[in-house]
């Protein structure tokens, strides 16, 4: 297997199959010629894996899927129109017919709100753990209806870390998959599958694409997890939709025993709900992936320097970053993140809301908006924006203080960023 830096540029693409184009072409078309009756039947029975309709498959999107699969060492990958589509498809597919997911209670606000209020409308119940930092707390919530454990490998916005291997061991002992959202970490900083994760989710909008110009998501499957027939009958149910050429009904497991979730999502969720990733957005993510190592490496170093600076300011009541002075996650950071613990950090702004408004307005090199993983440095007051949909109790359990401010470090010069913050502090608290 080639090195990560070779795969991010080369994986999944052969120019000779695309008119020798050096760059991945954008196949901006709704449909593809079937050619003949025989080829059409081969496509519909999955004998042949070429594109036929962009909602369920497109060559540009397929190259992105192959590249992500290679970077994570996954068995299968499905690219989707957004990270929330990836999360929703995964949770709903695993809990079809009823079931629950055990989840950390400190995750992206949109995910947490959907877990608490939206998914239960469809029979997907979420059980938030009492202590997200204790693997035993996850195990305590597991019952006969549990269909998975869900965490973020670096949590948003608190940059918390969890013991992935311990959680994988618990999940596998109970015959359920470990689902990880690896959006913040990216495969450059962490390969969750190597540590026992079974399903990996990305919002490719963030650091995978990295330029704030495309909305995209992905679901990857390790290929190592064996889905229990009684717990996940949906993957074993024969369907005429994925019949063979002789007309025999087949299940997702029949088509791909190592990746039935991916087959199930593409055949039903992508086909019928249709959160398809467009070819141009896929192209933009592919372009972003070509520089992911350099981007995330520098963003991580910038975050480390910003965190160290913030720890010196009397106007800052706390700094949340895995390697910060008082962080409880230093040991996990050393174990799972030898390249650094990412570009995301948060701090407590020890002032009034009016002072925070002046502080943000005074910044020149931080953009005030809700994305993360951008080449630009970003800042936002999470309790009033990214996590505003959570009630006070949910925010308290997630450890999101009212004065929390989140930073996503970009690629600017670290000294310029720190000077910008220093000048804003001095202006507001003079």
What are the residue ranges spanned by the domains of the chain? 4-287, 293-429
Question: What would the two tokens of residue 323 be?
Answer: 């390697």
Model confidence band, residue 108 (pLDDT cutoffs 50, 70, 90): confident
CB 153 within 8 A of CB 202: no
pLDDT in tens, 180-204: 999 999 999 999 999 999 999 999 9
**Residue 73 banded pLDDT, cuts 50, 70, 90:** very high
| Distance between start and end Cα atoms, the chain | 57
Q: What average pLDDT does this structure show over 286-302? A: 98
In this prediction, residues 105-113 reach a mean pLDDT of 86
Mean pLDDT over 320-327 rounds to 96
Return the percentage of the chain with pLDDT > 90, whole number.
91
Q: Alpha-carbon distance 266 to 401, whole Å?
A: 40
* Architecture label for domain 4-287: 3-Layer(aba) Sandwich (3.40)
The pLDDT-based confidence of 296 (bands split at 50, 70, 90) is very high
Kindly report the CATH class assigned to 293-429: alpha beta
Order of strands across the sheet that contains 367-368: 316-320, 344-349, 404-408, 378-380, 367-368
Rounded Cα distance between 303 and 298, Å, is 9
Helix (H, G, I), strand (E, B) or coil at 296: helix
Query: DSSP 3-state assignment of 409?
Result: coil
Q: Is the pLDDT of residue 1 over 80?
A: no
> In whole angstroms, what is the distance from residue 280 CA to residue 417 CA?
32
What mean pLDDT is predicted for residues 60-71?
A: 98
pLDDT at site 142: 98
Report whether 45 contacts 186 (CB < 8 A).
Answer: no
Least confident of 108-112, 178-182, 258-262, 319-323: 108-112
Q: How is residue 380 written in tokens?
A: 């936002």
Residue 173 CB neighbour total at 10 angstroms: 10
Structure confidence at residue 75 (pLDDT)? 98
Confidence of residue 391 (pLDDT cuts 50, 70, 90): confident
Q: What integer pLDDT is reported at residue 256 of this predicted model?
A: 97
């Amino acid at each position: 297997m080639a090195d990560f830096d070779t795969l991010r540029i080369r994986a999944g693409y052969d120019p000779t199959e695309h008119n020798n184009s050096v760059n991945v072409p954008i196949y901006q078309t709704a449909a593809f010629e079937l050619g003949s009756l025989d080829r059409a039947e081969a496509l519909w029975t999955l004998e042949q894996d070429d594109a036929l309709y962009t909602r369920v498959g497109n060559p540009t999107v397929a190259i992105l899927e192959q590249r992500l699969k290679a970077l994570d060492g996954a068995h299968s990958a499905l690219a989707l129109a957004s990270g929330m589509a990836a999360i929703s498809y995964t949770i709903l597919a695993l809990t079809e017919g009823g079931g629950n997911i055990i989840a950390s209670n400190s995750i992206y606000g949109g995910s947490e709100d959907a877990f608490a209020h939206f998914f239960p409308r469809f029979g997907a119940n979420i059980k938030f753990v009492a202590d997200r930092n204790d693997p035993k707390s996850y195990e305590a919530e597991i019952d006969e209806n549990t269909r998975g454990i869900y965490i973020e490998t670096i949590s948003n916005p608190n940059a918390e870390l969890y013991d992935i291997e311990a959680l994988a061991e618990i999940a596998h002992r109970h015959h359920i998959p470990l689902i990880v959202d690896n959006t913040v970490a990216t495969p450059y900083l962490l390969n969750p599958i190597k540590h026992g994760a079974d399903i990996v989710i990305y919002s490719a909008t963030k650091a995978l694409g990295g330029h704030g110009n495309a909305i995209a998501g992905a679901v990857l499957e390790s290929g190592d997890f064996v889905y229990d027939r009684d717990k996940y009958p949906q993957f074993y149910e024969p369907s005429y939709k994925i019949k063979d050429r002789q007309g025999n009904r087949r299940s997702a497991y029949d088509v791909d025993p190592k990746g039935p979730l991916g087959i199930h999502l593409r055949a039903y969720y992508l086909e019928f709900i249709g959160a398809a990733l467009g070819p141009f957005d896929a192209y933009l993510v592919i372009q972003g992936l070509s520089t992911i190592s350099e981007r995330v490496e520098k963003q991580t170093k910038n975050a480390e320097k910003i965190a160290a600076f913030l720890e010196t300011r009397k106007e800052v009541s706390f700094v949340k970053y895995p390697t910060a002075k008082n962080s409880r996650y230093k040991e996990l950071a050393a174990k799972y993140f030898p390249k650094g613990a990412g570009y995301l950090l948060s701090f407590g702004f020890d002032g009034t809301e009016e002072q925070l408004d002046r502080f943000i307005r005074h910044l020149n090199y931080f953009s005030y908006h809700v994305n993360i993983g951008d080449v630009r440095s970003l800042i936002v007051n999470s309790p009033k924006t990214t996590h505003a949909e959570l009630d006070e109790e949910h925010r308290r359990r997630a450890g999101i203080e009212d004065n929390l401010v989140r930073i996503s470090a970009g690629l600017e010069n670290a000294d310029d960023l720190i000077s910008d913050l220093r000048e804003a502090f001095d202006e507001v608290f003079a």
